């Protein structure tokens, strides 16, 4: 039980990848807060059914008041915040097209949710982590920032921004033993997701480990970065994509 009674916030907690994180943390004794702009109630139920502790609430991570309220509620119920997983993202419903046809509104939305949202959540939890002189913040980026995937420049750019933001945050929070790291997942075919089988085959072939990436492939790395095993690792980018991209 590596996370016994630890207070863990997973933003975008209602999604399929978040569910994989949540169940793994719950299995190791953590108390979970799963804020989402949509509902995370079904995951809360799953965690409770297995005897764990979880709460959810509506939260728009791009809005400071909404984020503050969410973090306050978590602290009220769980006593503090030990771990923040900045997992919420504007992704599934993004507009796709070449960047010269993208509207400012669309661009700004990706930056507001993915970048400002992650910063606001870190900003809101920082005082609690500083008080206890420990904490872990994990920003979920994407390997599209490494590849430069076409046709959603706003999403790609926002995920690249998180890599740089992680580094500056790590430097600013190091004196309080708070570690900030980034994970870049490859393309995850979440349960039930429909993908072009031909395209997925090509993607798998480009990897060292030639298979489809699933939610659970990310869980071990996120838990490692949340655990005391990684206490001297901060500001780093951990790429989990079956050996498609190599960074550095």
The residues that touch other proteins, with contacts defined as CB under 8 A, are 146, 163, 167, 170-171, 173-175, 177, 179, 207-210, 213, 217-221, 223-224, 227-243, 246-248
- The residue (of 45 and 211) whose beta carbon lies closer to other proteins is 211
Shortest CB 85 distance to other proteins, Å? 16
Scan for tokens 């790609």, then name that residue.
Answer: 156
Least distance between other proteins and beta carbon 218 (Å): 8
Smaller CB distance to other proteins: residue 71 or 163?
A: 163
Judge whether 90 counts as a catalytic residue: no
Q: How far apart are CA 49 and CA 61, in angstroms?
A: 27
- Least Å distance, CB 97 to other proteins, is 28
Judged by DSSP in three states, 96 sits in coil
Minimum distance between the CB of residue 230 and other proteins, rounded to whole angstroms?
6
Least Cβ distance, residue 128 to other proteins (angstroms): 19
Tokens for 177? 């033993």
Q: Which of 21, 152, 155, 199 is catalytic?
A: 155
Q: At 58, phi and psi to the nearest 5? A: -70, 135
Is 87 or 221 the residue whose CB approaches other proteins more closely?
Answer: 221
Give the C-alpha distances (Å, rounded to integers) separating 65 from 70, 116, 172, 216.
Answer: 9, 13, 23, 32
**Smaller CB distance to other proteins: residue 74 or 143?**
143
Residues 186, 189: Cα–Cα separation, whole Å: 9
DSSP 3-state of 140: strand
d(CA 248, CA 184): 14
Place of tokens 């400002």: 116
Token pair in block for residue 204: 């798998």
Complex with other proteins: residue 35 or 160, whichever CB lies closer = 160
Q: What single DSSP character describes residue 100?
A: G
Catalytic residues: 155
């Amino acid at each position: 039980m590596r996370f016994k009674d630890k207070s863990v916030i997973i933003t975008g907690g209602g999604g399929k990848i978040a569910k994989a994180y949540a169940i793994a943390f719950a299995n190791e004794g953590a108390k979970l807060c799963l804020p989402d702009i949509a509902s995370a109630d079904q995951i809360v139920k799953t965690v409770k059914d297995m005897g764990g502790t979880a709460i959810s609430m509506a939260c728009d991570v791009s809005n400071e008041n909404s984020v503050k309220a969410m973090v306050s509620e978590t602290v009220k119920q769980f006593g503090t915040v030990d771990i923040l997983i900045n997992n919420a993202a504007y992704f599934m419903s993004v507009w796709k097209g070449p960047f010269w046809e993208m509207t400012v509104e669309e661009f700004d939305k990706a930056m507001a949710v993915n970048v400002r949202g992650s910063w606001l959540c870190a900003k809101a939890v920082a005082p609690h982590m500083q008080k206890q002189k420990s904490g872990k913040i994990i920003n979920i980026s994407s390997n599209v920032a490494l590849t430069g995937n076409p046709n959603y420049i706003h999403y790609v750019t926002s995920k690249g921004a998180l890599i740089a933001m992680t580094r500056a945050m790590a430097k600013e929070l190091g004196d309080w033993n708070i570690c900030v790291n980034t994970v870049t997942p490859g393309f995850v075919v979440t349960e039930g997701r429909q993908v072009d089988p031909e395209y997925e085959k090509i993607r798998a072939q480009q990897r060292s480990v030639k298979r489809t990436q699933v939610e659970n492939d990310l869980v071990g790395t996120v838990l490692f970065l949340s655990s005391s095993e990684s206490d001297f690792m901060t500001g780093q980018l951990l790429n989990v994509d079956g050996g498609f991209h190599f960074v550095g």
